Copies of this chain bind each other. A is one copy, B any other.
């Protein structure tokens, strides 16, 4: 792995476990083993640029997992369950140390870094579009699909916070069940029209 990639992956791991504000360049350099010169060579904008690229990379990786889940499955609720089951297993395996890097960064950046906040918004929006497209394929019109996708994402983000506070995957499991209720209720109402 080249030093650019090592810097990005180290930053991402720290963003997932300890958030944006706790993550400093010295720790990133130390844990990645990358030389200081390479940091300023690859990321002349310093920490903010490095964080933004790490968040975009995480957005792509998690976005691909969401797409894999929804494209392999006709039913959005089944896809959602497959995705959250895998996420719950990861969370348990990390001993609840690893939250959502975008959710963590958004929490920290909202009041402090407009550029990072905006990247978080863009990544959330791209995940929502994947979920929404899957709902459109199931017959939802685009406006409702977008609203349901946003709710699905925000419920999962909130459940991850409770999972970490509680050291349990139950909040994520229960959020998944309740999101399924919302999706199937919306489906039934759609049919009735």
What is the interface of chain A, defined by CB distance below 8 A to chain B?
A: 17-19, 21-22, 96-99, 103-104, 106-108, 110-112, 117, 120-121, 124, 147-148, 150-151, 153-162, 164-167, 170-171, 174-175, 178, 181-182, 185-186
Contact = CB atoms under 8 A, between A and B. Distances in A.
B19 A108 contact: yes
Number of copies: 2
B110 A96 contact: yes
Nearest to A19: B108
A33 to B, nearest CB: 21
A145 B147 CA distance: 26
A51 to B, nearest CB: 14
Contact of A21 (B19, B99, B162): B19
A119 to B, nearest CB: 9
